[in-house]
Amino acid sequence: MAEHRHTLLTGLTGEVIEIGTGDGVNFTRYPPTVTRVLAVEPEPHLRRLAEAAAQQAAVPIHVVTDSAENLSVPDESFDAAVFSFELCTVPDLDAALNEALRVLRPGGQLRFLEHIRADTSRLIRVQHLLDATVWPLLVGGCHTGRDTQ
C-alpha cells in the first residue's frame, strides 16, 4: 500500500487539495514540488491527528473541516485534487466529483486511490452483504462494493 500511496502523489506540483484526509497518512509523501496542501477532514478526532501529522510534513499543509460535497473554496483554485480511500465513503459520489472538478484549475489533475467493486459475482455478493450489514459501521461509512471506477 505504501507503494500505491507513493504513486498516487508522484509528480504533483503546485497547490493541492486532499479530500477526506483521515489521520494524514499521505502527508509525508507529498513531493517538494507541491507548494501547499489544503487537507479536508470532517471527523474531529481524525482532524486532530491530521493536524499533528501536518507538522511532520515537508510541505505546508493546512487541515480544515469541510465536506467533499460542498467545499468552501473558490472555483479553479487548485492544481490537483487527491482522494485516497475516500470515494468509497462519501455519501454522494457525484457531488464530490463535481466539487473536485469545480475547484480544479483548467488542466488540473484528479488523483485517486480506491478499492473497487470485485470482478466476480460471488465476491460482489460478499461485498453487498458486508455493505448492507456491519462494514460501513466498522469502517467509517466505507462501501466495499461501490462501483467507483
Site residues for ligand SAM per CB under 6 A: 19-22, 25, 40-43, 46, 67-69, 84-86, 89-91, 140-142
Task: Find residue 63's DSSP bridge partners.
Answer: 39
We find the least distance from the C-beta atom of residue 141 to ligand SAM, in angstroms, to be 6
State which residue, 72 or 121, has the beta carbon closest to ligand SAM: 72
Q: Can you say how many angstroms the Cα of residue 143 is from the centroid of all Cα atoms in its chain?
A: 14
Measured from each CB, the residue nearest to ligand SAM is: 22
State which residue, 14 or 42, has the beta carbon closest to ligand SAM: 42
We find the least distance from the C-beta atom of residue 100 to ligand SAM, in angstroms, to be 11
Pair 146, 135: CB distance under 8 Å:
no
State which residue, 53 or 122, has the beta carbon closest to ligand SAM: 53
State which residue, 46 or 57, has the beta carbon closest to ligand SAM: 46
Cβ–Cβ contacts within 10 Å for residue 129, how many? Answer: 13
Cα distance between residue 39 and residue 133, in whole Å: 30
